[in-house]
Amino acid sequence: MAVAIRQAQPEDITELVELINGFAARNLMLPRTPEAVLKTLPDWLVAVERDTGGGETLLGCGALVALTPELAEVRSLAVHERGQGKGVGSIVVEHLVALAKAREFSQVCALTLREEFFQRLGFEIVDRWSISPKVWQECIYCPKFHRCDEVAVMKYLTVRRPEESSGGKPVAANPLLKWQAWQPLKLAYSYKPIHLDGES
């Protein structure tokens, strides 16, 4: 199967949103609206299979979201069942990383349920609270926010000093991140509502 990666076009939006929202219905990612995708269309890549007649079949998609001038996030990585197990997800991520390099980001992160997948692509597991608070702006709308089981991963696009190496352990994604910046989000994440009957 020959897979081509290209920037998403307006005519891709309907199928792209259907693909993402199919996973969102299973609480595997956040839903997207056509309007939101159209607004950020230059940040989206799609994987397609091209036939001999020039037609295309959408296999997967992903977006690159700027969080800070140094840090971008891979979001909405989705692969259609017809493309699963064929390396489509890896190809999309590799092209998103290349896009991040072209845009001169020094780090790329993701929140994932499949950290092994990202580790095979050169990402490292990091402390989720070390990532820019902007990564959590959408998370507060997720039904799993108070019981999130996603793992934060990071890929460094520039050479790090030896003391910045993880040594196989989680490391801070942004050493300049202020404690005050993410503490309110951390408190919100750990908060458990109290019901009127006294049960938590």
Let me know if residue 178 belongs to a domain.
Answer: yes
SS3 147: helix
Alpha carbons 32 and 25: distance in angstroms, whole number:
11
Nearest to 70 by CA among 138, 158, 2: 158
What pLDDT does residue 141 have? Answer: 55
What pLDDT does residue 36 have? Answer: 95
Let me know if residue 196 belongs to a domain.
Answer: no
Let me know if residue 128 belongs to a domain.
Answer: yes
Let me know if residue 136 belongs to a domain.
Answer: yes
What is the DSSP secondary structure assignment for residue 106, as one 8-state letter?
S
**Where are any strands of DSSP class E within 80-187?**
107-112, 124-125, 151-156
**Which residues, in sequence order, are bridge partners of residue 78?**
61
Q: How many domains does the chain have?
A: 1
- pLDDT of 64-93, one tens digit each? 999 999 999 999 999 999 999 889 999 999
SS3 171: strand
* One-letter identity of residue 20: I
Q: Going edge to edge, which strands form the sheet with 151-156?
A: 3-7, 44-50, 56-66, 71-79, 107-112, 151-156, 124-125
Q: What is the CATH number of the domain that holds 179?
A: 3.40.630.30
Let me know if residue 195 belongs to a domain.
Answer: no
Structure tokens at 124: 């490292």
Let me know if residue 200 belongs to a domain.
Answer: no
Let me know if residue 45 belongs to a domain.
Answer: yes
**Domain housing 163:** 3-190
Q: Identify the segments of the chain with pLDDT beneath 70.
A: 1, 132-149, 159-200
Let me know if residue 115 belongs to a domain.
Answer: yes
- Is-contact 121 157, C-beta < 8 A? no
